[in-house]
Amino acid sequence: MFLKKTFMLLLCMLMIVPAAAKSKTKVIAHRGYWKCEGSAQNSLKALERAAEIKVYGSEFDVHMTADGVLVVNHDNDINGVVIQKNNYSAIKDMKLSNGETIPTLEQYLQKAKEKGMKKVKLIFEIKNHASPEIDREVARKCMDMVKEYKLQKRTEYISFSIEVCKELVRQDSKAKVYPLDGKWTPEQLKEMGMAGMDYNYGVIAKNPTWVQECHDLGMKVNIWTVDKPEQMKQVYDWNADFITTDLPEQAQALLKEAK
């Protein structure tokens, strides 16, 4: 009788584990939570709203101006003025769609330190610059500012530039760094000291075994930018660690259904 009960208990545990595994995916708001009233992409309000809905992380993008100021913006230009080729004075008064001025990285990190904001992770994308040398310089400056604000434990770095990624790892081997370009296998990422991969949905769809391979190597997987419900469900079925989306509340709701 004892053996029979033990067998049934083990069988139940084996049935529960796969279902639980599908519920581990965490939501990252792409460029913050901006598809809501009063918000805008990469704005301080978008970071605040992401924290309010309790997503795992809020993603944002950083460029360096010609005179060395780090600013938060996705596109290379704002109102036609190319950020990396102009001094900060040329863009500092320009407005986002919600009326905010374009934030500096310092302003963004200050916002992240405010009360009520301290649980949301900062998913920090460093944009490509004109040369590998500048990429490495920007990586160092960004990491130095994160350290200045004592936000190392809350910050995870992503970039399409492998030079940025490698420099971040050189500066801090414990930093969580994820390449975005989809070129590297799990084994190659492990050798470079990366925390995992942050790849487009299409890349993972062609290489779905990479999710488990990363997990087997002790690394994590983020998949971007996933806005279609059927693709969100697929990400959960793959058991990816994170899903980056412009629709974080919808992703959260689907995740609850998947549990």
- Ordered by where they begin, the domains of the chain are 26-199 (3.20.20.190)
pLDDT for the residue 259: 72
d(CA 103, CA 145): 15
pLDDT tens digits, residue range 8-55? Answer: 444 444 444 444 444 599 999 999 999 999 999 999 999 999 999 999
d(CA 223, CA 242): 6
Percent helix, percent strand, percent coil in the chain, to nearest 5 = 45, 20, 35
Q: Does the pLDDT value for residue 4 go beyond 90? A: no
Is the separation of the CB atoms in 56 and 27 below 8 Å? yes
Whole-number mean pLDDT of the chain? 93
pLDDT tens digits, residue range 67-119? Answer: 999 999 999 999 999 999 999 999 999 999 999 999 999 999 999 999 999 99
pTM value is: 0.91
pLDDT for the residue 9: 45
Percent share of the chain, pLDDT over 90? 89
pLDDT for the residue 23: 53
* Phi and psi at residue 83, to the nearest 5°: -60, -50
Show the tokens assigned to 90.
């040329």
Q: What is the residue whose two structure tokens read 């969100």?
A: 232
d(CA 227, CA 219): 24
Is the separation of the CB atoms in 56 and 242 below 8 Å? yes
